[in-house]
Amino acid sequence: MVDCIKDAAVMSAILRNMRNVTCNELESLLEAAFVQAGATTSAAQAAAAALVRAEADGVHSHGVSRTPAYVAQLQSGKINGQIEPLVTTNEAGHVHVDACGGFAYPAINTGLSAALEVLRKQRIVLLTVGRSHHAGVMGHHVEVAARAHALALGFCNTPAAMAPWGGQRPLFGTNPIAFASPRDGEDPLVIDLSVSSVARGKVVTAKEKGEPIPDHWALDAEGQPTTDPARALQGSMRPMADAKGSNLALMIEILAAALTGSNFGFEASSYLDAEGGPPETGQCFILINPDQVATGFSTRLNTLLTMMMDQEGVSLPGLRHFVNRRRAQAEGLSISPSLWREITALAVSQVRE
C-alpha cells in the first residue's frame, strides 16, 4: 500500500463506496491516485491538498472533479510529476520559479515560501512562476501570503477561451486575478475573480451535469450567445464588462506569460485533457509588506471594512468560502457516487497492493 493511505477509515470508505468523507481522508485518496499516476509524494500532496481545499470552499469547478484529468495528464506526461521546481532569487527582490512543466501547486508553494522570506527584509517582492500548469483557486495562494501578514496580488493566464472584444476566435484565457490583505485577528480579506463573465470551469461543470448555462456567459463558435455548455466550450467565453474585461485579460497575459517566460493562452494546450504537450502557462505575484510602507495600515483597513459592513446587505468578499471550509472540516464532504467511484478506481490498486 502506498504510504499516504494508512488510515483504516480510508480503506473502509473505499470498500463501502461511501460518499461522505472527511477532508483528510479525501486528500489521502487523491494523493494515492496521483502517486499511482506517476507523481512524487510531495507533488501529489500539494495537488491533493489544493483540490480538497477548493472542494471544501465550495469551488467545485476547481475541486475533486479535476482529479481524473490530472491523472490522465500525469500518465501521458503532459504533467511532469517527477520534476522539482527550480527557484532563483536575486537581490533586487525578484523570486522566479521554473515549474518545468510540472504541477503549479508545488511550484507556487515553493515560490511563496521563498518570496515571503525575502519580504521580511524589504517592502515589496515580485514572484514569477513560469512553465506552469493549472493553478486552481488563485485566492488560496494570495491567502497564504496574507496569513503571513503580506498584501498580495496574483495574476494567472490560462489556455485560450476568450476572444478579444469584437473578435470571435479565443485568444486570451479567462485569466484569474486575486488579491488578499491581512486583517488583525480575523481571516484575511480575499478577492478572487475571473476576467471572463464567469470562470470557464462553471461551464465545464454545467456540461458534466447536463445543465444549461445563462446566455450571457459565453458565445458559440459563430459568435452568438448560447445556453448550451457544449457549444460554449467550442466557442468563446464572454469577458466581464465587455471591452474592459478583455483589456484586463490582455494585461494579465503580459504579466503572467510574457513576464514569466510562459506560453500565451493561444499557445497553451488544454488543462482538461491529456492531448498535446504541457500547457506551460504562468503566474505572477506582487507581495507587499504593509507595515514597512504605511503607518497604521491595519487601523485604516479596519475603518474601511467597518464602513462597508455597517451597510445592510453588505458582506466582505471571500467570507462564504471560509464558512464552507470550516463546515467541511467539521462535517466532511459529500461526493457524488459516480465521481466517488471514478476517483476510488484511480487509487484502489494502491490500497490492494
Band of residue 351 on the pLDDT scale cut at 50, 70, 90:
very low
Lowest pLDDT segment from 167-171, 310-314, 323-327: 167-171
Band of residue 353 on the pLDDT scale cut at 50, 70, 90:
very low
What strand order describes the sheet that includes 124-132?
A: 86-90, 94-98, 124-132, 281-288, 151-156, 177-183, 186-193
- Collect all residues with Cβ–Cβ distance below 8 Å to 58 and sequence separation of at least 6: 320, 321, 324
| Domain edges within the chain | 8-76+321-352, 86-196+239-293
Whether the per-residue pLDDT at 295 is higher than 70: the answer is yes
The residue-averaged pLDDT of 291-299 equals 95
CA dihedral (74, 77, 83, 89) positive or negative: negative
Q: What CATH class does 86-196+239-293 carry?
A: alpha beta
Whether the per-residue pLDDT at 47 is higher than 50: the answer is yes
Residue 262's Cα: distance from chain center in Å? Answer: 17
Band of residue 200 on the pLDDT scale cut at 50, 70, 90:
confident
**pLDDT score for 205:** 86
Is there a common fold for 8-76+321-352 and 86-196+239-293? no
Q: What is the pLDDT of residues 104-139, one digit of tens each?
A: 999 999 999 999 999 999 999 999 999 999 999 999
Band of residue 50 on the pLDDT scale cut at 50, 70, 90:
very high
Q: What percent of the chain clears pLDDT 70, i.e. is strictly above it?
A: 93
Q: What is the DSSP string of 278-304?
A: ---EEEEEEEE-HHHH-TTHHHHHHHH
* Summary mean pLDDT of the chain: 92
> Whole-angstrom Cα distance, residue 348 to residue 55?
21
Q: What CATH class does 8-76+321-352 carry?
A: mainly alpha
Whether the per-residue pLDDT at 323 is higher than 90: the answer is yes
Band of residue 15 on the pLDDT scale cut at 50, 70, 90:
very low
Whether the per-residue pLDDT at 240 is higher than 90: the answer is yes
Whether the per-residue pLDDT at 229 is higher than 80: the answer is yes
Task: Kindly list the distances between the CA atom of residue 77 and the CA atoms of 19, 85, 337, in Å, as whole numbers in the listed order.
Answer: 30, 16, 29
Alpha helices in the chain (DSSP H): 8-16, 23-37, 41-57, 67-76, 104-119, 138-147, 200-209, 229-234, 243-253, 290-293, 297-309, 319-331, 337-352
From the CA atom positions of the chain, what is the Rg in Å?
20
Whether the per-residue pLDDT at 259 is higher than 50: the answer is yes
Q: What is the DSSP string of 34-57?
A: HHHHT--HHHHHHHHHHHHHHHHH
The residue-averaged pLDDT of 39-63 equals 97
- Phi and psi torsions of 335, nearest 5°: -110, 140
Which residues on neighbouring strands pair with residue 285, listed in sequence order? 127, 154
Whether the per-residue pLDDT at 5 is higher than 70: the answer is no
Q: Hey, how many other C-beta atoms are within 10 angstroms of the C-beta on 3?
A: 11
> Whole-angstrom Cα distance, residue 336 to residue 126?
41
**pLDDT score for 10:** 57
